[in-house]
Structure 1
């Protein structure tokens, strides 16, 4: 397994993994990923098993303290010099789940952001995943203002 940052050439693989992991209402489109890759490809952490993308983490950097739905839609809001790494998605192919793949990527993203001097990372998740992200130091801040995909989301934050 190898972890690396994304390039635009990874667009199809990223879109395919996303589609395999999320309901259609929640999954980012190929067009959305193309915009994200053009604005912040270095904010994608990819895990490959040989030539196969099996898991990825992605999101923008901002000075805003909360993850809001507009960030999903507008990649130009990314500010590389911002204080907070927003995590838009953690996606792992079903056959690779429960093998530590997402955990490796989250640990790398946290480590990279700490080294860069960011204040921390913010993500939103469903209630069933609160305990999972807590293992990486994320603290539950309660129900998020996000209405992404029509689901109920909780905002979590790890602060350095």
Structure 2
């Protein structure tokens, strides 16, 4: 497996994987990914099996301590010198799940955040995924204010 950060040339593959991994109400659109890639392509960690994108993790950096819905919508809020690495999406195509690929990408995002001197990482997840992220050291801070996709989200934080 090869891991690298993204370029705008990866847009089609990223949008396809997202559409395969999330319901339409929760998935980012191709247009949203295009904006994200313009502002923070170095904060997309992509995993390939040969030439096929099978998993990715993405999110931007900010000084804001909590992840908000506005962050998903406004890629221009990215601050490369910010304190917190937000994680917006953890995606693995269904055929490749349960092999530890997402975990490898999460570990890479954590390593990069450490190298970059961040305070930590923040993500939101559904109840069933709280134990999964806890394995990486994320602590559940309770229900988020997010209304994204009309789902209840828990905010989790990993302090470095």
TM, length-normalised to structure 1? 1.00
Distance 1:115 1:29 in 2: 30
Distance 1:145 1:56 in 2: 25
Structure 1: segments with no counterpart, 5+ residues: none
Distance 2:115 2:78 in 1: 19
Matched ranges for 1:9-158 at <5 A: 9-158=9-158
Structure 2: segments with no counterpart, 5+ residues: none
DSSP-derived class of the 1:16 partner? helix
CA drift at 1:115: 1.0
CA drift at 1:158: 0.2
Distance 2:98 2:36 in 1: 27
Deviation per residue, 1:127-152 (Å, 9 max, x gap)? 00000000011000000000000000
DSSP-derived class of the 1:27 partner? coil
Distance 1:112 1:59 in 2: 12
Distance 2:95 2:147 in 1: 29
DSSP-derived class of the 1:11 partner? helix
Runs of 4+ in 1 over 2 A off after TM superposition: none
CA drift at 1:156: 0.2
Distance 2:23 2:158 in 1: 26
